[in-house]
Structure 1
């Protein structure tokens, strides 16, 4: 009996049963994206020069920093920990604010962001991962946005369960009206406030309150895909490519504890500790205290300890061993703000995923 089109669409795509990284595959460059990113970075660099030479007032700078914070929490607390992983529940008012904050971040609609991130977790560091770290630092940092998606990313993306977000009218509203909402929330209001309230020149306001803060926040998010998959320790699971990065956690309000997060993706803390360079966890706890968030999920201490002993690389601060911890090195002091903080422990071998 011939299948209907709906039945065909529901079939799992015909992809190799085991997915790794085909290093012979050449990604096709999307030149309009390349040109767009060049223009974006040129204006951001112009804005940085204006800022460093005193071209804008302190109020405009503070306003831009506030926007970076708002959009950062929209990504970490909203898109990542709530809408993608469902690590806690939120009231409609809280969800509305987080959706607006995420829109300011300008990282595509909530629906697409969550789909790509769920795909990233399901096929992490393989050709099914939109920003496969095995393709090198530049690709997983930002190059993936300048290339045509790998066929596996496209096909496997259709299999990701998005029914929860499809049933959420707020998410679908933002998806439908994303571009006009972005123009209003991410461009017009951020630029208008310094001009109207602080007497800033509109061009300088555009350079600082839009271009510079936007590019800064983009690179902060991208660090999770690049640095937090390449340079650090794996105290929870040495078989996972993501690592623990103090440096990335400082920049991203706690998203750099990435080895833990991939080991326990349902944990609202996205880290073992909520009070160590993890402001997003503190923010979620604050939302819980004022009644906007509830049902916070977390891995039990026993579960975490068992995972560390069973699969960790030995570098854990409490349950590790001195030899493994000694493999952690840096140029200068071992400090969260030192980007050379690294581990000489052997990374996991490529493993095919079913």
Structure 2
């Protein structure tokens, strides 16, 4: 998602989209009706193509991170620059977590246009492709998680889920589902389609300005501003997202559904402002909190901000999962690590035959088996 179109198209740094318009809604519907999965059933094994431009940009960003880190840990930059870098990093990440993730991908709340434009501004600066492409990829990821149709398929390994999928072409089945997934709500939003059409220009402009601000207002070196406020900041935002794709599918507990690879991981939660409750999120993707708890004590800064905007009247229609729904799912599919109240924890406990709490279907089967 780094600056780019889907990985099947080579990534280019700072190259404008040449009047590329969003896919037409009618074309989307035709693909839904006419494209057949039979075309994908080939005996020839799929071999992903390396997207070398994506590889080059990823190497530049990740290696460049250490240049900016050097300036930070050796105190080469001004204190004002560090404070500016810190808040810019946080705001760009919130543009991802609140904006493109919770608002646009999952439609878990609604907001005023000024809030939407603010989120668009910082998301675009974060540089994780157009909103349209991010949402498209993320919806397919949730719909077909852990299959060949999943662009982030964790079955292909930690590295692939973390960054490899940016650098390889998509599986044909994944590309098919990306054409099929419903994107009509995004297409209908003129602001988001403007960002889609001019994404490369907007990304370049906003990040150029982000580097010039410390240079112009308090005389920071352009070199330091570039490596710290752009490259290192970008690498951190990029990694905040990627650990949710990788570590959050390999490391942690599965209190809500032990059959899914997604986990709850407190380290990822802190690092990503609340996105690390990933097992919960894959079970209840429509909950605006992306976790059972939306307070600052559970490191869910994104949910706290949404709640503040709600109190101000700038956000409404927050989707929320009831505690009863959570408890039912925990009892049915959880791995046993979830904390439940005494009453909830013993809802399915029975002392033996004749207990009124024996499941009705079990009771009928037991009656047939008695002999």
Question: Normalised by the shorter chain, which TM-score bucket?
Answer: 0.7 to 0.9
Partner residue, 1:222 = 242
Q: Is the CA contact (8 Å cut-off) linking 1:12 and 1:159 kept in structure 2? A: no
Partner residue, 2:67 = 46
Partner residue, 1:330 = none
Partner residue, 2:251 = 231
Report the Cα offset of residue 296 of structure 1. Answer: 0.8
Q: Following the alignment from structure 2 to structure 1, what is the Cα–Cα distance between the partners of residues 39 and 320?
A: 32
Say if 1:89 and 1:67 are closer, same or farther in 2 by CA, change over 3 A.
same
- What TM-score, normalized to structure 1? 0.84
Say if 1:318 and 1:12 are closer, same or farther in 2 by CA, change over 3 A.
farther
Report the Cα offset of residue 33 of structure 1. Answer: 1.4
Report the Cα offset of residue 134 of structure 1. Answer: 0.8
Pairs within 5 Å for 1:30-45: 30-45=51-66
Pairs within 5 Å for 1:62-101: 62-101=83-122
Partner residue, 2:190 = 169
Q: Following the alignment from structure 2 to structure 1, what is the Cα–Cα distance between the partners of residues 28 and 184?
A: 16
Of 195, 198, 223, the residue aligned with 1:203 is: 223
Q: Is the CA contact (8 Å cut-off) linking 2:28 and 2:179 kept in structure 1? A: no
Q: Is the CA contact (8 Å cut-off) linking 1:234 and 1:312 kept in structure 2? A: yes
Partner residue, 1:281 = 303
Give the gaps of 5 or more residues in structure 1: 322-354
C-alpha offsets along residues 66-121 of structure 1, whole Å, 9 cap, x if unaligned?
Answer: 11111111001011100111111101111111111110110001111101000000
Is 1:298 the equivalent of 2:297?
Answer: no
Pairs within 5 Å for 1:250-329: 250-275=270-295, 276-318=298-340
Report the Cα offset of residue 199 of structure 1. Answer: 0.9
Report the Cα offset of residue 317 of structure 1. Answer: 2.3
Say if 1:5 and 1:271 are closer, same or farther in 2 by CA, change over 3 A.
closer
Task: Supply the RMSD in Å over aligned alpha carbons.
Answer: 2.2
Partner residue, 1:103 = 124
Report the Cα offset of residue 7 of structure 1. Answer: 7.7
Of 261, 267, 272, the residue aligned with 1:247 is: 267
C-alpha offsets along residues 106-139 of structure 1, whole Å, 9 cap, x if unaligned?
Answer: 0001111101000000001111111111111110
Bigger radius of gyration: 2
Report the Cα offset of residue 8 of structure 1. Answer: 5.3
Q: Is the CA contact (8 Å cut-off) linking 2:40 and 2:172 kept in structure 1? A: no
Partner residue, 1:119 = 140
Say if 1:6 and 1:143 are closer, same or farther in 2 by CA, change over 3 A.
closer
Report the Cα offset of residue 16 of structure 1. Answer: 6.2
